[in-house]
Amino acid sequence: MSTHRHVKLLIVGSGPAGYTAAVYAARAMLEPVLVQGIQPGGQLTITTDVENWPGDTSIMGPDLMVRMEAHANAMGAEIVSDHINSVDLSKRPFTAVADSGTTYTADAMILATGAQAKWLGLPSEEAFKGFGVSACATCDGFFYRGQEVAVIGGGNTAVEEALFLTNFASKVTLVHRRDELRAEKILQKRLLEHPKVEVIWNHQLDSVYGADSPKGVEGINIKNTETGDVRKVQVSGVFIAIGHAPASDLVKDQLETHMGGYVVTKPGTTETSVPGVFAAGDLTDHVYRQAVTSAGMGCMAALEAERWLAENGETEGKDVSEPLGYGAKVEPAQ
C-alpha cells in the first residue's frame, strides 16, 4: 500500500554514521526518521571483534550495532525497517521512495548509505558466487570446516577474513597482488605468525574453477604479476576481500561525486552539492573509512542539518536552486 509521510529529517542508512546522526538529531528535537536499508547495522554486522572502538577493548561488531540502534531508539529516533529505492533531490521538500511503497518528503536529508564489497568482475567469480565464492567470511566461513580456502586481497578486511577463517578451515591461503600488505601492522603480525596461513605474494586471481553438479568451487588459477605464470591452488572456497565502493547509486547524477563515486562534501563539513542534503560516513570518505570516523561524520551531519533547518525553516515548495544561505555555496571537488 502506498503512503506518504512528511518528516523534518530523513536519515538513510543504519551504520555508525546513520545511528550517530539519529542520536544527535533526536536530542535536537528534529524527530528524525531513519531508514535502515537491507543491512541493518551496516558493515560491522559482518565482522567479529572490533578492537578500535573507543571505550571497548574488544566488542563484537553486531553487538556494537545493536547497542547503537538501541541508543538511537532511546533518544527518540524512529527506526524503520525499509529500503530507499529512489530519491529526488531536485526540488524541496526532497523525496525518497521506499520499497514498502511509502513516499517520504523531507525538509532535510542525511545520507549514510556506506559502502559495499567490491568484486573483481571475473566471469568465473560471478558464475560461482554463492557456490564457493563469497565476500563475507563471517557469513559463510562456517561452511568450510576442515577444508582449504583462499582469500584475495591485502588490506585490513582481507587479513581479518583470513584470520577468522582459520577458526574453521584446515588451511587459509591469502593471495595478494603485491609483496607488502596494506593492513595494520598488528593484523599483519597475527597473520604471518599463524600456522594455518600461507601468503602467496605478487599474484592475482585469474579464474575460479569447479564442478557444475553439484555446483561448487574446486580451486583457483592465480597469475604471477611479475612473470605472468599461472598456477593452480586447490581450495573449496574463495573469499574476495579487495575493498569497498561507496553506495552512491541512489544519488548518482543528483549529487556531485568523485574518486569513483564518493559523494563530495564541502571541506570540513558534511554539506553536499545540494543545500539541505548532508552525507556522512563511508559514502563520502575515501581516506579513513572507520567506524569511529563515520560516527563522527554522523554527528557533524546532524548538527549541520539542525543549523540548516533553523536557518531555512520549513522548505516545502522552495526550489533548491534558490540561494539558501548556510550550506548553499559548495566548493568544487579537490
Binding site for ligand NAP (CB under 6 A): 52, 120, 152-158, 160, 177-178, 182, 204, 242-244, 289-290
290 binds ligand FAD (CB under 6 A): yes
Q: How far is the CB of 240 from ligand NAP (least distance, A)?
A: 9
26, 30, 93, 114: residue in contact with ligand FAD (rule CB under 6 A): 114
Contact 65, 43 (CB under 8 A): no
Q: Quote the Cα angle for 8-11-14, to 5°.
A: 155
Q: What is the distance of C-alpha 257 from the center of its chain?
A: 16
Q: How far is the CB of 94 from ligand FAD (least distance, A)?
A: 14
Q: Quote the Cα angle for 7-13-14, to 5°.
A: 110
Residue 17 or 174: the one with the smaller Cβ distance to ligand FAD is 17
190 binds ligand FAD (CB under 6 A): no
Size of the site for ligand FAD (CB under 6 A): 38
The dihedral through the CA atoms of 190, 192, 196, 201 has a sign that is: positive
154 binds ligand FAD (CB under 6 A): no
187 binds ligand FAD (CB under 6 A): no
Look at residues 220, 211, 223 and name the one whose alpha carbon lies nearest to residue 239.
220
Contact 105, 95 (CB under 8 A): yes
Cell numbers that stand for 192 in this block:
604471518
52 binds ligand FAD (CB under 6 A): yes
Active site residue 299: no
3-class secondary structure, 205? strand
Q: How many CB atoms are located within 10 Å of the residue 243 CB?
A: 16
Active-site residue, selected from the candidate residues 82, 107, 140, 206: 140
Residues 209-268 that bind ligand FAD (CB under 6 A): 247, 250
In eight-state DSSP terms, residue 322 is S
The dihedral over CA atoms of 180, 186, 192, 195, expressed in degrees to the nearest 10, equals: -160
Contact 241, 262 (CB under 8 A): no
Residue 270 or 312: the one with the smaller Cβ distance to ligand FAD is 270
Candidates 16-24, 197-205, 221-229, 230-238 — which segment interacts with ligand FAD by CB under 6 A? 16-24
Q: How far is the CB of 216 from ligand FAD (least distance, A)?
A: 24
113 binds, among ligand FAD, ligand NAP, none (CB under 5 to 8 A by kind): ligand FAD
Contact 297, 270 (CB under 8 A): yes
Q: How many CB atoms are located within 10 Å of the residue 305 CB?
A: 30
Candidates 174-182, 200-208, 270-278, 281-289 — which segment interacts with ligand FAD by CB under 6 A? 281-289
- Interaction site with ligand FAD (CB under 6 A): 12-18, 35-40, 42-44, 46-47, 50, 52, 83-84, 112-115, 157, 160, 247, 250, 281-283, 289-292, 294
Residues identified as active-site: 136, 139-140
